[in-house]
Structure 1
């Protein structure tokens, strides 16, 4: 095993860099860095970022405005140890510390989403679906958090926290984007938000958004992207039952009408339509007591998807698939202060999932469905989850905070699992902190992984995928050691992390030529792989003045599989250099210029194809008065293109927001 710990020179050099920078004398701004205050995702309780042992990052509302972020993919551009890529026709992928997209738990206000769940599509479409207009902040926890959130959090958690009602206001935003060398191609983003403020005891926020994306066509008229329309309608309400007691109501509706053009094995041009509807509802009670707080809520979601394929030349239907996913959850937790040094949190969750569709082959509740001249058979699968967890925030001394946590998960489809974690924050002095985390995580196989039965034309090849009901949960053991601090105008972090994953689910594929059919790939899922993912995260920044700051983040990653091969879709080194400006005026300007770069990004493991590249980007936001602001930005300023990486050149984006 190739541990970074066996290359002490690199670690020592980075350590020296952090300590040297932190020891630099203060410049114009003598105050310690103002961190983004409080997070709730790392421990399910309110915690100061400096106190929490977990590796946490917060993206604020102001930063979203400066970036001109329309969706979650946009919002994550500057985050540490996170890589967002856009493989053609398949949404976006996000890796956290080298863990794949399906190992990241994405939540909205702590609620899971009902979404695609297959090996290749889990989470991929959510990065473009989640609009930023009604978002207050995004909390990111890097590293496994199964001790609190159970399955799906092997890589980390991204929790989108929405705004709460404040004052009556109507907000409208418009944001077009266009490629500089294809000025007719891009997307248009519209959003509308109405905040009622407090009306007696009720407060409501109604928000709606639409994204219309153009087709980016290849020379043969196939497309590099899915194009069409996405729409969201959200209703979020809060009722003040009494002092420090609230009832929360949420309704979230998604509608997608998308298309993509590809080719059949015969070479004929094919258009695929993707019609998606998703309805989610939530009802919750939360409050505070003299010595703690509590929350209990239930939520339900249903996602329908219809995919049809037509020949472009004559409109003939050649394939289709349908699916219906449902999830219902009941969860709650109570935090109670015990004495002066312990905050005990206990909680539980019960959740059910049902998947009914033409890509499921259980033989249970079989049905036939016909579109045009094609009839397909489908079936149904379901899974139940239940869990209990406990956490103690123990202030062992004025300098030492110890947080042990433990979660027990059970299901009707896999064996029970226990996920422990121990986190510690030690204050070396007023400015420096040492943080340690040790824990275990797991990810249960999805219904798709276990019961998939799919045949589909993809890239001119017939692909057949068969699930495996005997799959076991993927499991990880993680270790993390970090030092962070502030000295005057300078701040920094250095973290070494290890995440060893066993029983990693992978695909075993056999490719053959079938007479009369062409090339065929037969795949199934197996627990045959493992991953050893070690890395170093380095963050440093300095306030050059009260208006200007410079930040740098860097990640060195060793991610290998069972045979020692590097894991595909990861960069050995990546980072950003960011210059932030804010003139701190009521009608002011904020801006960010940044360079994002990757070195030895493994694009294709089979051919050992590595990519190294850097992109320059800029975004400027101007607040003209209390009711009007605008921004303009350029992604990929120097027009870098790489078809394999789906880098399609420079894009200009602009936007304006009106408030009434």
Structure 2
């Protein structure tokens, strides 16, 4: 009890001290800009506009804000955003193979489109934000609400656009913490060439999940190692043309165990992801173009053992070895032309993306020395034409029309021809500037998401469903934005209904099949950014919604009478407080999600989660910085998933580090 009291006292001292320290500094620096009350936004309209002039719910997080969350990767850094829900099958956002971590926007699980400098990161329905180091990011723009009209498939919940750093500072950074954590980074800029590298690692963590929620019951997980490598290079040919290449490598060693029981199969699995992203960008303000190639190899190597339990011992014998993996390749381009027509503006663009996926699986059973092998190659091309026209009605208001036509071709799985789709999605937006500091907007539009290869054709334990339809959503939103001298208020009320949402169902304990079900949500979001002066800034947000799913099949695939049921969380409270002046920088971030419901037929309730993080930095001189990051201040064992499986957050953990600029 005494030890616990001492820990909590230390935490309180860090929180309060981080705000009041700094009065004894011997030199002064210009404070870093942590909050901008009315930032410029490029994602929402595909043209640069002020947030106040943008008819969408937008959140912009700059580099300093992302670092202040303590997250080494974007999966961790974005978990404090308004209207965003965090989901992970491993600590610190670590993915478990194809069971990847997610940031869910407005309750749409399969509806987050992630872009890197405007290029889609999503492949086979996965985007692995935990592989993107915060060190390489200039800012992140989050657009809540359907964004498929301007950006295509998968943006049914919203868009996260990661804008990487151009010219980067020359610095090195290193830190260590408990749970065998370590993180290191370096960035260099030489004339037109910029290079960044980041590495982070976490050690052995036992019992990261609950056996009662395992599948089958009794299954629980341990992580023996998780690590990420992130390398980025950018070369600016001139002010209009640049090339960038990013390489990410993610290794995670999971141990699957059961409570001792006869006949249980225990596993050691090493999940590896290697991802190359190459982009060539051209931008002269009038024409924007990008040519890109994304190559991702995802592999799982498994050693399975039969286990036998006896009253006094627990024995294991090797059963089999297996190897399964996906190799995704995406080649594409996007070209848009912008016009300024007196007081009107227009955008017209075309995009193309060819997706290929090679799936391979082999296994060796030792008992009979039996070897099996399976493989399948998938391919699909996706074409789009999109446009937007902003019409000046009067000095105070604009009306904006946007459309996209998307169609697929050459969809196949080796000799099996798949279904090709064609979708037309319109959107209309209206914004009225009440005065220079206040605006209101309304929007109505549609979204869509194409089924992935594995959902249509199957692979591994996924049984294909050739009858799957694309998701199709109708979205409505009204909003209010107001800036004062030191406050930026943002209010949004939204409603959507997504027909034929693509949902997974267990057929039995080992196999999954995807089906179409409807989902809907109505909610309200209010957030405020505050500049309190003297280096002190704050932000808070509150959102309440009612995400529901219309189930016509049970969790195990049987047909049932359709009914609407709750899933995910309804209430979110989030906020932050930062101090940034002279020698001291600090930030406290909090995110609470309550009224949570498991994504199962029985609608089981879940305890709320409360994420907390404190980051404190001290600059003894202009080139050096010492920092301490404390995550999960209250040492909570929060659940990071919403299905039957129960995965937990890491306990209270810290990182102590040093940064040197030169």
TM-score (norm 1): 0.81
Distance 2:53 2:393 in 1: 13
Aligned to 1:364: none
**Displacement of 1:470:** 2.3
Contact 1:350 1:384 in 2 (8 A): yes
Paired residues for 1:255-654 under 5 Å: 255-263=249-257, 266-288=263-285, 293-311=286-304, 313=316, 317-338=320-341, 340-358=342-360, 374-412=371-409, 413-455=419-461, 465-511=462-508, 520-527=509-516, 529-562=517-550, 563-568=562-567, 570-583=568-581, 585=582, 588-603=583-598, 605=600, 606=602, 608-642=604-638, 644-654=646-656
SS at match of 2:134: coil
* Stretch moving more, 221-230 or 493-502: 221-230
Contact 1:602 1:610 in 2 (8 A): yes
Q: Does 1:229 align with 2:227?
A: yes
Distance 1:574 1:186 in 2: 32
Distance 1:269 1:623 in 2: 49
Contact 1:598 1:613 in 2 (8 A): yes
Paired residues for 1:87-102 under 5 Å: 87-88=89-90, 89=96, 90-100=99-109, 102=110
Aligned to 1:515: none
Aligned to 2:114: 106
Contact 1:133 1:191 in 2 (8 A): yes
Distance 2:456 2:49 in 1: 38
SS at match of 2:170: strand
Distance 1:630 1:393, change over 3 A: farther
Long gaps (5+) in structure 1 = 1-32, 179-184, 360-367, 456-464, 512-519
Distance 1:43 1:607, change over 3 A: closer
Aligned to 1:458: none
**Displacement of 1:355:** 1.0
SS at match of 2:55: coil
Distance 1:508 1:133, change over 3 A: closer
SS at match of 2:253: strand
Report how many aligned residue pairs link the two structures: 569
Distance 1:235 1:542 in 2: 36
Distance 1:321 1:205 in 2: 36
* Stretch moving more, 277-286 or 549-558: 277-286
Contact 2:566 2:603 in 1 (8 A): no
Contact 1:319 1:374 in 2 (8 A): no
**Displacement of 1:541:** 4.2
SS at match of 1:128: helix
Contact 2:55 2:429 in 1 (8 A): yes
Q: Deviations over 1:485-540 (max 9, x none)?
A: 123333312210011100111234333xxxxxxxx44432222x101111100113
Aligned to 1:188: 182
Contact 2:592 2:610 in 1 (8 A): yes
Distance 2:181 2:206 in 1: 14
Distance 1:127 1:177 in 2: 22
Distance 1:607 1:508 in 2: 15
Distance 1:454 1:618, change over 3 A: same
Aligned to 1:205: 194
Q: Considering only aligned residues, what root-mean-square deviation do their CA atoms show, in Å?
A: 2.5
